[in-house]
Structure 1
Amino acid sequence: MVETAEHGPHEAGLPEEDESERVREWWEAHGSRFDPELCYDKGHVHSLGRWVDELATAPPQVFPIILGDLTTWTGQDFGSERPEAFEKWRAFWADNAARFPDGKRYYWGHPV
């Protein structure tokens, strides 16, 4: 276990010593509710549309992270200025949602 003068072991961003056991137990209890053929994000079937929606209320430090993820997944880049980027992503999604079914993983606009 690593500790610093300012932080205990968990506050320093290090995994808990028993994390692997905790995750295994959680997965045994909850894993049956997940379809192994689908991709998940925050416990829900992944949806690029949800990411687009999150842009509307994302805090300033999270906004560029979502933009980067959307760009990597779709291959599109609409800049980083609010609210212009959000409006362009919303229009893109309205025209292209059918190309990106929920629960699938994409890289530069192609399923992987």
Structure 2
Amino acid sequence: MTKRECLNKKNKQNVKENVKENIKENVKENVKENVKENIKENVKENVKENVKENLKENLKANVKANVKANAKANVKNSIKHAADTATTIMVNSAKRGSKRGKCTKGNA
């Protein structure tokens, strides 16, 4: 084998080694980039899911609070209405002069 052939053979081997090394490095870099991208995507998805869950929970809590508040207000209004009605009846009875408890036939 001539010196030139020997050098060519060594060159080819060096090229093969360099290609292998470059491929390894590229794969490492690609894996790193893919991992970064996947983490970003996962974080985005998790944030979206968390926001959805929080909105659901807040909505449930708000509905419960509103139902409670409305029930209390309805009870208060019912009591007030009943009291107003009773007052109105008493006032009207007093105006008419209630016959209850009085002798009406004149024989006391």
Greater helix percent: which structure?
Answer: 2
Q: Would you call these one fold, judging by a TM-score over 0.5?
A: no
TM-score, normalised on structure 2? 0.18
Whichever structure has more strand as a proportion of its residues is 1
> Which of the pair has the greater relative contact order for Cα pairs under 8 Å at 6+ separation?
1
